[in-house]
Amino acid sequence: MNYIVLDLEWNQCPYGKDREDKRLPFEIIEIGAVRTDENFHMQDEFHEIIRPVLYRKLHHCIRNVIHMTEKDFERKRTFPEVFSDFMRWCGKDPVFCTWGPGDLTELQRNVAWNIRKKKLPKDWPFAFPLFFRDIQKIFSYTYEDKKTRRSLKWAVEYLSIPQDLEFHDAFSDAVYTAKVLERLPADTVESYSSIDTYITPKNRNEEIYADYGTYRKYISMAFKDRNDVMKDPVVITTACPYCGRRLRRKIRWFSENGKNYLCIAVCKEHGLVKGKIRIRQNAEGSWFAVKTIRTVTREEAEKVKEKKEAVRKKRREHRAALSSRR
């Protein structure tokens, strides 16, 4: 299998968000990558600094992190040239590995922007759905509580990996990520793939269902109106992650903040099941749902119940406050 361990550095508008290009808030200025074999041993490397064309002046925060100046980008190639070479270097059917979920999203955003500018051909270079390995998440699944997300430097120190390269350099961070990957169990890396959602399903036939053994993930088609997401019967269906049986909800879907929704259901065979729906907006401005379903303990289910009671209490207090003003 062709594993590509990828890291990026990017610049942003130095004059504030009100002057940025909303379709490209982060312009890639460096690509670093390592290719490994199926045993995660490093085989080859790719590294190139990229001359920015949109944000040519470095944002002061970026300058402090990457320790480069505008002169370092003079006479460098632009993104379309470097990206084309990078994809050829990746080879056929690459499995991308990143530290955290952000890099692939920004890589695709940069590709889309250059396609619109007619700097790259229209044919989309990435698979759909785009499965990848989030090494930060898999590190947590292997060494911690599955929820904590550590910095790359923290993981390197935890694993006693020699620190002979500077951090916050795309190539160095790719090398460190590859060294962390080399110390992870192969079956865990293979089992816990992540799904990038820069491109979302356009219809029911493209909706994504992923079974991870102990939990299931569903990514819905896009909806023009945000309010339609939680009205959709497929989105709110709750099924057991083990047997797939549709379940009756003990605690109906509710939200603490209007973005994430929770519910509790019961499977006669496998016990209490927690559902979580996150509503997100895609690159085209439409809305979609990412739903995860997993079994939980009675204590975890009780915490969900307490959250719902807190939401109800807050709503009652809000209604009472409105009534007192009239």
CB 272 within 8 Å of CB 297:
yes
The C-alpha atoms of residue 313 and residue 72 are separated, in whole angstroms, by 57
* Preceding amide of 185 cis, omega within 30: no
CB 207 within 8 Å of CB 218:
yes
CB 131 within 8 Å of CB 180:
no
**Which of 140, 145, 130, 151 is closest to 188 using CA atoms?**
140
What is the structure's pLDDT at 76? Answer: 97
pTM equals: 0.91
Residue 146's identity, in one-letter code, is K
The C-alpha atoms of residue 137 and residue 114 are separated, in whole angstroms, by 30
Strands 3-12 and 260-267: unpaired
CB 27 within 8 Å of CB 12:
yes
The C-alpha atoms of residue 78 and residue 32 are separated, in whole angstroms, by 15
What is the structure's pLDDT at 152? Answer: 97
What single DSSP character describes residue 223? Answer: B
Q: What are phi and psi of 325, to 5 degrees?
A: -85, -15
Strand, helix or coil for residue 310: helix
CA dihedral 12, 14, 20, 25 (to 10 degrees): 10
Q: What are phi and psi of 74, to 5 degrees?
A: -65, 140
What is the structure's pLDDT at 139? Answer: 98
Q: Token match 């690509």: residue?
A: 31
The correct answer on CATH 3.40.50.300 for the domain covering 3-191 is no
pLDDT tens for the chain, 326 residues long, are 789 999 999 999 999 999 999 999 999 999 999 999 999 999 999 999 999 999 999 999 999 888 899 999 999 999 999 999 999 999 999 999 999 999 999 999 999 999 999 999 999 999 999 999 999 999 999 999 999 999 999 999 999 999 999 998 999 999 999 999 999 999 999 999 999 999 999 999 999 999 998 899 999 999 999 999 999 999 999 999 999 999 999 999 999 888 899 999 999 999 999 999 999 999 999 999 999 999 999 999 999 999 999 999 998 988 888 877 76
What is the DSSP code string of 92-144?
SS-EEEESSSHHHHHHHHHHHHHHHTTSS-SS--S-SSEEEEEHHHHHHHHHS
What is the structure's pLDDT at 321? Answer: 82
CB 309 within 8 Å of CB 319:
no
Count of all residues that appear for the chain in the document: 326
The residues spanned by each domain of the chain are 3-191, 201-307
What is the structure's pLDDT at 325? Answer: 76
